[in-house]
Amino acid sequence: MGMTMAEKIIARASGKSTVKPGDFVWANVDTAMMDDLLGPRVVIADQIKKLGNRVWDKEKVVIISDHYSPAANITQAEILQFTRNWAKEYGISKYYEGLGPCHQVLAEEGFDIPGTLMVGTDSHTTTAGAFGCFGTGIGSTEMLGVLVSGQIWLRVPETMLLIWKGKLQTGVYAKDLILRSIKAIGQAGATYKVMEFTGSCIEDLTVDDRMTIANMAVEAGAKTGLIAPDQKVFAYLEKIGASKGTPLYSDPDAQFSERLEFDASELPPQIALPHEVDRVVDIAEAEGEVIHQAYLGSCTNGRYADLAEAAKILKGKKVHPDVRMLVSAASRSIYHQALKDGIIETLSEAGAMILAPSCGACLGLHSGILARAERAISSTNRNFIGRMGHKEAEIFLASPASVAAAAIAGKITDPRNYL
């Protein structure tokens, strides 16, 4: 019997020739990522001193300060200071701050390597699955064990296969595809399973689009979301001077817990209604819902093509006077490219406020918090109660194009009306 991509990666990491769902293994970690939110300051800094006070392999540890950067208050400033100093104390040279959300930085800095195992103190570490890297989120206590041993125990997960055939229509994007996938499965339907995406539609997608899909796999409870690495991935890695690793692929006779098939050509723009990520409907069903804030950015949809698509819609138009539009590129390098190409200027001229590359607004820490009874349409990944500010605010999740269209109209509308 063959193995799935996930099973092969875990088998390699655990030094075994084969594994099967349900097996418990000790796996060697290739990359351990910590952020400022759940990194050294939580459990790790105190307890590592009791466990030998050393990191197993400094070259395999990455620390990225992105949630509290730039700091909005003294508490956040001190958290950043602590994280920065801890990295220096333990000789972690791969420390990044102010470059943007960790998952985009990991990709740009060449850590998302096909066939490898990555763990991170952020649930959206699943983003690395776009490269055929088994990326998964873990807690701070688990990370403590990884830091001192280089290993983590895993139960080998089952894999669900999601087959997307056909071609996306104009005005329909990877965000719509993953929202529709989550609707079909439910927000807990893939709990401790792998979601592997395949099919002609997935093959046609760019690496950036695949990152959007893998990023949100965790919103269905998935351990990770994987897409088979191909020439597009290898070209991306070659361009940034990163290794292409040892790509692994599911065998033709691999066993999947479920197979779900979708036709991308029939998919209209989607939107997730408050307050559940799987409460997804065709955007036509939410047409006319008034919004107060439109947020474009995050590790889900703040990449260059996302900003460019929004700029295409907003060019020569103005953001509705009752709407605040906020834009945060997914990284500093994306911001620089968008600035060079006039995209930032177009967004700003339309009335958008340009923010630093950061996680701040996505989870209500700074740079655009919602007030009571306010409603936002956002290109981010979560819309549960209190996610972006007040617990009585409401969040709709949609594509960057849908965010831009709503910013102009002052209400939710089909982005195809502006294309």
Six token digits for residue 59 = 């070259």
The torsion angles phi and psi of 135, rounded to 5 degrees, stand at -100, 130
DSSP 224: E
**pLDDT higher than threshold 90 for residue 1:** no
CA angle 262, 312, 416 (to 5 degrees): 45
Say which DSSP state 333 is in.
H
pLDDT of residue 365: 87
Tell me the pLDDT band of 233, cut-offs 50, 70 and 90: very high
CA nearest 56: which of 85, 88, 90? 90
| Topology of the domain comprising 272-418 | Aconitase; domain 3 (3.30.499)
Q: Does residue 69 have a pLDDT over 90?
A: yes
What tokens appear for 1 in the block?
């019997």
- pLDDT confidence of residue 12: 98
Q: Exposed, middle or buried, 349 (CB in 10 Å: 0-12/13-18/19+)?
A: middle
pLDDT in tens, 352-376: 999 999 998 898 888 999 999 999 9
Q: What is the mean pLDDT of residues 146-159?
A: 98
CB atoms within 10 A of CB 110: 13
Mean predicted confidence (pLDDT) in 74-95: 97
**Span 192-214, pLDDT tens digits:** 999 999 999 999 999 999 999 99
Parallel/antiparallel/unpaired status of strands 224-227 and 258-263:
unpaired
Q: Where are the beta strands (DSSP E) in 212-255?
A: 224-227
Q: Say if residue 151's pLDDT is above 90.
A: yes
% residues pLDDT > 90 (the chain): 98
Percent of the chain as helix, strand, coil, to the nearest 5 = 35, 20, 40
Please list the residue range(s) of the chain that carry CATH number 3.30.499.10. 7-262, 272-418
* % pLDDT > 70, the chain: 100
In the block, residue with structure tokens 């796999």 = 217
- The CATH T-level fold of domain 7-262 is Aconitase; domain 3 (3.30.499)
Flag whether pLDDT at 188 surpasses 90.
yes
Please tell me the predicted confidence (pLDDT) of residue 363: 87
Q: What is the pLDDT of residues 374-389, one digit of tens each?
A: 999 999 999 999 999 9
Mean pLDDT of 148-175: 97
Please give the Cα distance from 296 to 401 (Å, whole number): 9
Q: Is the pLDDT of residue 99 over 90?
A: yes
What pLDDT, on a 0 to 100 scale, did the predictor assign at position 350? 98
What tens digit of pLDDT does each residue of 333-354 get? 999 999 999 999 999 999 999 9
Q: pTM for this structure? A: 0.95
When pLDDT is averaged across residues 234-244 and rounded to a whole number, the result is 97
State residue 137 phi and psi, 5-degree precision. -85, 145
Taking all residues of the chain, what is their mean pLDDT, rounded to a whole number? 97
CA atoms within 13 A on the CB side of 56: 17
b/e per residue, 64-95, with b = 16+ CB within 10 A?
A: bbbbbbbbeeeebeebbeebbebbeebebebb
Q: Which residue has the tokens 């991306």?
A: 236
Q: Which pLDDT value is given to residue 356?
A: 93
Q: What is the DSSP string of 383-402?
A: --TTTTB-TT-EEEE--HHH
What digits encode the pLDDT tens for the residues 251-308?
A: 999 999 999 999 999 999 999 999 999 999 999 999 999 999 999 999 999 999 999 9
